[in-house]
């Protein structure tokens, strides 16, 4: 069977956009990568730098270039990384970016829609749950085709932290961070396991659950304060999602999408484990949660709903 290689567009050529671009350069499934930014010079420079690397052995021969929104016309996937961000001298909660980034997302969604309503859109910009909700519900674009990276990165951080305590490969730590990509995120301790063994049974020394979730939530800020920005973790999270989409993997990943009654929650986007196919979000899973975990999920939903009410549904 002939495998058709695809075109992917990245909107936003900042630290995250450049990280995503660099990560996707290793993809054997991608034929063309385009990067778009209001700062055309930055997009051009990032694309040129990346394009040079494709001449080296073991690098797929991808056509990398910068461009404008007309490039979205034949893109299979569009990744939105544009917008304001927290900085080390201005460490703010992600939700503080809501006002300014809603305007940017409105501009970007209207530009994308001039050229396509077929592409899968991956939302990365923060606050990712609010922007995903906005893009899914206000632009007459098939909502299953819009995916927020949500707690995919937080879940990677959770597995990494627990793997060091368990002394096993992080990929063998099964469990999720769900809810908001932010301070109300929570861990699914009841389902977290190593080879089916509940995490608390596997560990020789008991761990404080609250300490672990705090470390997960604050670790992004730890990177930000020390390095100046975060990009590797999120770039690999996007790469993981792109692979699942392009290969129709039917992988289950914790991503942000507008809930449709799961756990009695509607009209807010947050992360639950979802089956990802080549058409986007195929199924939102209601995994077993304890009463405490369910109440944390509802608290996360209520927190996000208050922001939606303040900035969007006014």
Write out the catalytic residue numbers.
181
Q: For the chain, where are the alpha helices, taking DSSP H only?
A: 15-24, 40-53, 98-113, 128-137, 152-166, 199-202, 209-227, 232-246, 291-311
Structure tokens, 285: 């899973």
The residue at minimum Cβ distance from ligand NAD is 14
Give the range of 61-69, 99-107, 172-180, 204-212 binding ligand NAD by CB under 6 A.
99-107
CB atoms within 10 A of CB 70: 13
Q: Is 11 in the site for ligand NAD (CB under 6 A)?
A: yes
Residues 31-70 that bind ligand NAD (CB under 6 A): 37-39, 42
Q: How far is the CB of 181 from ligand NAD (least distance, A)?
A: 6
Residue 63 per-residue DSSP state = E
**Residue closer to ligand NAD (CB basis): 144 or 180:** 180
Instruction: Tell me whether residue 232 or residue 263 sits nearer to ligand NAD (CB atom).
Output: 232
Among 125, 132, 257, 271, binds ligand NAD (CB under 6 A): 125
Q: In the chain, how many H helices and how many E strands?
A: 9, 14
Indicate the residue among 166 and 253 with the shorter CB distance to ligand NAD: 253
Which one among 49, 93, 107, 215 touches ligand NAD, defined by CB under 6 A? 107
The residue among 176, 112, 175 whose CA lies nearest residue 145 is 112
Query: If binding is defined by CB under 6 A, does position 15 make contact with ligand NAD?
Result: yes
13 binds ligand NAD (CB under 6 A): yes
Q: How far is the CB of 4 from ligand NAD (least distance, A)?
A: 28
* Cα–Cα distances in angstroms (integers) from residue 37 to residues 29, 192, 296, 308, in the given order: 24, 40, 37, 27
Q: For the residues of 158-187, what is the DSSP string, one character each?
A: HHHHHHHHHTS-GGGEE--EEB-SSTT-EE
The span from the CA of 150 to the CA of 303, in Å, is 15
* Contact positions with ligand NAD (CB under 6 A) in 63-82: 81-82
Q: Which of 116, 188, 230, 258 binds ligand NAD (CB under 6 A)?
A: 230
Cα gap 20→232, rounded to integer Å: 8
123 burial (CB, 10 Å; 0-12 / 13-18 / 19+) is buried
Residues 136-165 contacting ligand NAD, CB under 6 A: 149, 153
β pairing state of 251-260 and 266-277:
antiparallel
**Which of 95, 126, 155, 257 lies at the binding interface for ligand NAD (CB under 6 A)?**
126
Q: Work out whether 128 is an interface residue with ligand NAD (CB under 6 A).
A: yes
**Cα separation of 10 and 37, whole Å?**
9
CB proximity list for 41: less than 8 A, separation 6 or greater:
none
Give the number of other CB atoms < 10 A from CB of residue 217.
Answer: 21
126 or 202: whose CB is closer to ligand NAD? 126
Size of residue set near ligand NAD by CB under 6 A:
30
Span interacting with ligand NAD, options 50-58, 123-131, 187-195, 245-253, rule CB under 6 A = 123-131
Candidate ranges 5-13, 48-56, 132-140, 272-280; the one touching ligand NAD (CB under 6 A): 5-13
Q: Which residues bind ligand NAD (CB under 6 A)?
A: 11-17, 37-39, 42, 81-83, 85, 97, 101, 104, 107-108, 124-126, 128, 149, 153, 181, 229-230, 234
């Amino acid at each position: 069977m002939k495998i058709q290689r695809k075109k992917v567009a990245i909107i936003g050529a900042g630290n995250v956009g450049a990280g995503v671009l660099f990560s996707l350069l290793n993809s054997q499934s991608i034929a063309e990568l385009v990067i778009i930014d209001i700062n055309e010079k930055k997009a051009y420079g990032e694309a040129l730098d990346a394009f040079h690397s494709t001449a080296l052995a073991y690098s797929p021969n991808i056509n990398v270039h910068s461009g404008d929104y007309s490039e979205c016309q034949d893109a299979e996937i569009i990744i939105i990384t544009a917008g304001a961000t927290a900085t080390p001298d201005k460490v703010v909660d992600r939700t503080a970016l809501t006002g300014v980034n809603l305007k940017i997302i409105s501009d970007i969604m209207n530009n994308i829609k001039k050229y396509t309503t077929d592409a899968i859109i991956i939302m990365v910009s923060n606050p990712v749950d609010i922007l995903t909700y906005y893009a899914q519900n206000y632009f007459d674009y098939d909502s299953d085709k819009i995916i927020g990276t949500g707690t995919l990165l937080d879940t990677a951080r959770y597995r990494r932290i627990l793997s060091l305590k368990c002394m096993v490969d992080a990929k063998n730590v099964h469990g999720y961070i769900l809810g908001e990509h932010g301070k109300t995120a929570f861990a699914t301790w009841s389902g977290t396991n190593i080879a089916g063994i509940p995490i608390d049974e596997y560990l020789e020394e008991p761990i404080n659950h609250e300490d672990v979730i705090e470390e997960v939530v604050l670790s992004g800020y730890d990177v930000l304060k020390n390095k100046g920005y975060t990009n590797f973790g999120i770039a690999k999270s996007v790469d993981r999602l792109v692979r699942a989409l392009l290969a129709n993997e039917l992988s289950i990943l914790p991503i942000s999408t507008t809930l449709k009654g799961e756990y009695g929650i509607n009209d807010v986007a947050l992360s639950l484990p979802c089956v990802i196919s080549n058409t986007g979000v195929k199924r939102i899973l209601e995994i077993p949660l304890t009463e405490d975990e369910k109440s944390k999920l509802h608290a996360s939903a209520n927190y996000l709903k208050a922001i939606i009410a303040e900035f969007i549904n006014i």
